[in-house]
Structure 1
């Protein structure tokens, strides 16, 4: 190898995933109109967080299968949302009760104490 030749691996070709602005041909980012239309079409709440809080505020509460149906989340994501957002960030008291097969969660209010 002579001095004037570049070393192998000295310049590495960048792939498209290292540059966030560069997209592969045929892939398109969803437009703002499409995502807003999809949100308003079948989901009456502005966010999934609002939907879960509405389910938890019902007198009977909500089971994890109900919340997964309403949000499209996996069960472990629902449990993480309950402990991380509802309990820790929003500082709401969550009451849990085992009814038959499913566990029911609801936000504990002063009237229900």
Structure 2
């Protein structure tokens, strides 16, 4: 069976129209935070965050979480850690 030319051309027109239609830019207030921004928010808290807390919050494996912290360092965040009772807690200071 073959499709009629009108059904094919209507689909093609709709496809072209959808691609050329101007899209509204998302405003800053409706944009969801990126994964790195979410991780930074955890680290910027006064109490900081343990690796376990970050892994649970982000849904990442520990090595991925540590790599993301390295990415934050490259963006200018100062990340410090303290080991209290055998648990390492990370804290960050945002770049100026």
Larger Rg over CA atoms: 1
Shift of 1:75: 0.4
Residue 100 (structure 1) aligns with: 85
Residue 47 (structure 1) aligns with: 34
Count of aligned pairs between the two proteins: 64
Q: Which of structure 1's runs of 4+ aligned residues deviate more than 6 A?
A: none
Alpha-carbon distance in 1 for matches of 2:47, 2:93: 11
User: Helix, strand or coil: the match of 1:105?
Assistant: strand
1:57 aligns with 2:44: yes
Alpha-carbon distance in 2 for matches of 1:108, 1:96: 12
Q: As a proportion of its length, which structure holds more strand? A: 2
Alpha-carbon distance in 1 for matches of 2:78, 2:42: 14
Residue 68 (structure 1) aligns with: 55
Normalising by structure 2, we get a TM-score of 0.59
Alpha-carbon distance in 2 for matches of 1:52, 1:104: 14
Deviations 1:36-95 (CA, angstroms, capped at 9, x unpaired): xxxxxxxxx532212111110101100111111111000011111112x1111x111101
Q: As a proportion of its length, which structure holds more helix? A: 2
Which fold has the larger relative contact order, with Cα–Cα distance below 8 Å and residues 6 or more apart in sequence? 2
5+ unaligned residues in a row in structure 2: which ranges? Answer: 1-31
CA RMSD of aligned residues (A): 1.8
